[in-house]
Structures are given as structure tokens and as C-alpha cells.
Amino acid sequence: MYIGKPFPHKNLQRLIAAFNIIKTTDPDLMLVLAGKKDVLYSRVEEDVKAVDKIVLRVLSARANLGGYMRTARLMSSRLLVRLGLPDLEAMIHGAPVVSSNYTCLPEVYGEAAEYFDQ
């Protein structure tokens, strides 16, 4: 699951490419990209049409993010260097988090996350 705006610097294309690799070993997996419907998500919609098992969810400001996070098998919101509240909220709800190992992220998330090289 990814929650947030799909700005180009958030590296969603890399997440989608990684998902394509992972789903070959677990065909029941789905990737949920969630956020506010805007021009950026319209562009992402075009990118994911050709990829099976990717779902776009439009979330309102009052969405029950905790419910989404509790059912997620993995939370990925930081493919870059910045610390983000969605990761910390996901940890509160028990969702595993995967994060870049760059800058302060390993120091903040500690052993609560799995890391990858940026």
C-alpha cells in the first residue's frame, strides 16, 4: 500500500516495477495506491492500466486510514529520503513498513521497518 500524492520525486514507477517482480512469486498480491484524486493521480492511472493487480483508491480527508493500514501486508510511502507521517501511522496500526535506508530513516524507524538501498 502507498498513501500520498504521486509526485514524480516519490518514485512510484519504481514501486510499480518492484511490484511487478514480487507478484510473480505471490499472484494474490495487490498494490493499492491511495490518495486524493487530482491531475497527478490521473497520470498514474494511465501508467497502471497495463499492470494487473494494481488498485487506485481515492481517499477523502475523513477516510479511515487505520482500516486500510491494518489490512495491508506492507506499507511503502517513502521511496525517497524524507520522513513521513504515513509510515509512522502505519507502524501504529501494525502494518509492516519498507523504506529507503538513506539519511535519518533507519535511525527513526529502527527495527520496525525493512530497508532498501536508494
Q: Percent of the chain, pLDDT > 90?
A: 1
- What does DSSP assign to residue 70? H
CA distance 106 to 21: 25
Range of the domain at 54: 2-116
CA distance 18 to 114: 15
Top-ranked range on mean pLDDT: pick from 6-10, 28-32, 101-105 = 28-32
CATH number of the domain to which 106 belongs: 3.40.50.2000
Number of domains in the chain: 1
CA distance 83 to 87: 8
Model confidence pLDDT, tens digit, residues 31-89: 888 887 788 888 888 778 777 888 777 776 566 677 777 777 777 755 444 556 778 88
Which pTM was predicted?
Answer: 0.68
**Which pLDDT value is given to residue 83?**
59
**Which pLDDT value is given to residue 67?**
76
